[in-house]
Amino acid sequence: MQIGTDIRKASEIIRNNGIVIYPTETVYGIGANIFSNIALEKVFAIKKRDKDKPVSVAVSDLKMMEDLVYIGKKERHFIEIFLPGPVTVLLKKRDLVPGVLTSGSELVGIRFPAHETTINLIQLAGVPITSTSANFSGEAPPRRVDEIRVDADYIIDGGECKGEPSTVVDLVNRKIIRIGANFEDVKAALEDF
């Protein structure tokens, strides 16, 4: 397993069905091409994660997000307030989103991280990538490279992450799924939604 700062190399690995661990503004995540069945199988295996547990998707801009999910006027307003940032939004997926990511649900979690390295990685890869913490299921997510215990083809060393996972909010059913970063602001915005 290689550790470095070569984002171009990492993006090539993603394009070739490989797995990259990358830093975000919250914790380190596991990145794989969401359109590659081979790569998605690896993600579930690496995390020792049951396939009935969905995996979120990271995007590099609003256009990429719109390609994956349906965004109404109210949802767009919420997104413009909180993203990019440490919030995962659940929205109705478009048909091109693989069912394995959503465990058969019509909703998919979308992350638009406020982290330059992550944005560059996704842009260079040219595809949305998986956004799931780089840990075995049930264990604490890593904040530093030396805390990473899962396997990958490449780890992008981005220093120490802040450590608080994203708040997960279901914008379709208007409810918070997981409390995390920016929780109070998200809760207040949801009340006015």
Q: How far, in Å, CA of 24 to CA of 29, rounded?
A: 7
Q: In what order do the strands lie in the sheet with 175-178?
A: 2-4, 154-156, 20-22, 29-31, 129-133, 56-58, 107-111, 87-92, 167-170, 175-178
Domain at 2-191, CATH homologous superfamily: DHBP synthase (3.90.870.10)
For residues 108 and 147, the answer to whether their CB atoms sit within 8 Å is no
pLDDT tens digits along 143-158: 999 999 999 999 999 9
The string of pLDDT tens digits covering residues 11-66 is 999 999 999 999 999 999 999 999 999 999 999 999 999 889 999 999 999 999 99
